[in-house]
Structure 1
Amino acid sequence: MPTVLIVDDALFMRVAVGNMFREWGFEVIGEASNGREAVELYSQFRPDLVTMDITMPVMSGLDAVKEIMPEHPEANIIMMTALGQQRIIVEAIEAGAKDFITKPFEKNQLKTVVDNILGYVD
């Protein structure tokens, strides 16, 4: 069963995204509400996939990617962004994030991104 770490400072987003992944047969092995927690949980669990919000307290999603990728270049991170964050998305992709999705999104849009990324892994 593939594993996912869900990182978002909004509880409702963590719940909604978690429910989508559970429906697709994933195990949600952790949830984080900021980038610092994300870095710690990634190192602890090494999930197959991470959904990473960009704008969060304590540490941003971009900074978390910059901390995770040098130690774990195999990490599959999907950035979750609001409209108007294109510059940050470019920086996150350059830092090693695999893809991004813009909020609000449809469930099938996220599934397509997930399938594309895990296709590279299989």
Structure 2
Amino acid sequence: MAPELLIVDDSDFQRTMVRQAVESEFDVVAEAADGTEAVEAFETHRPDAVTMDIMMPEMDGVEATSRIKADDSPPVVVMVTSVDQQSKMKQAVKAGADGYVTKPFEPEDVTSELLSVL
């Protein structure tokens, strides 16, 4: 059985790009457009892994990662972030992120990063 994945990004386009990149190796169980939706989707679906954007409305990816990682059985979280967000990436690592992929990304980069931290 394929690992289950939650995709989090405020851009429909980016969520589609991540989905297409990983669907051969992962079962995408949910998508979320902001950190608040991400926490709710995690609690509902309990996926094995999460791809998380950093800059989003409502609740950013750093806060969402911190809340998800506080769970008794947290998933791996891979940040999918723009090059200009490197300072935020350090905050994400402190919040518990397990890895990251820089946008724009090659499809195989997302899959290989997720598989390497699972």
* Residue 58 of structure 2 corresponds to residue 55 of structure 1: no
In structure 2, distance between residues paired with 1:74 and 1:41 = 13
Letter in 1 for 2:55: T
Deviation, structure 1 residue 77: 0.4
4+ residue segments displaced more than 4 Å: none
In structure 2, distance between residues paired with 1:63 and 1:75 = 15
Deviations 1:29-79 (A, max 9, x none): 000000000001111111011000001111111110121111245320001
TM-score normalised by length of structure 2: 0.92
TM-score normalised by length of structure 1: 0.89
* Residue 27 of structure 2 corresponds to residue 7 of structure 1: no
Unaligned runs of 5+ in 2: none
| Residue pair 2:63, 2:95 contacting (<8 A) in 1 also | no
Q: Which residue of 1 aligns with 2:84?
A: 84
* Number of equivalent positions: 117
Q: CA RMSD in A?
A: 1.2
Structure with the larger RCO, 1 or 2 (CA within 8 Å, 6+ apart):
2
Q: Which residue of 1 aligns with 2:109?
A: 109
Letter in 2 for 1:28: V
Letter in 2 for 1:108: E
| Residue pair 2:36, 2:64 contacting (<8 A) in 1 also | yes
| Residue pair 1:6, 1:28 contacting (<8 A) in 2 also | yes
Unaligned runs of 5+ in 1: none
Aligned-partner SS, 1:57: coil
User: Taking structure 1 as reference, are residues 63 and 91 closer, same or farther at Cα in structure 2, changes over 3 Å only?
Assistant: same
Identity of aligned residues (%): 39
Deviations 1:85-107 (A, max 9, x none): 11111111111110111100111
| Residue pair 1:73, 1:96 contacting (<8 A) in 2 also | no
User: Taking structure 1 as reference, are residues 33 and 72 closer, same or farther at Cα in structure 2, changes over 3 Å only?
Assistant: farther
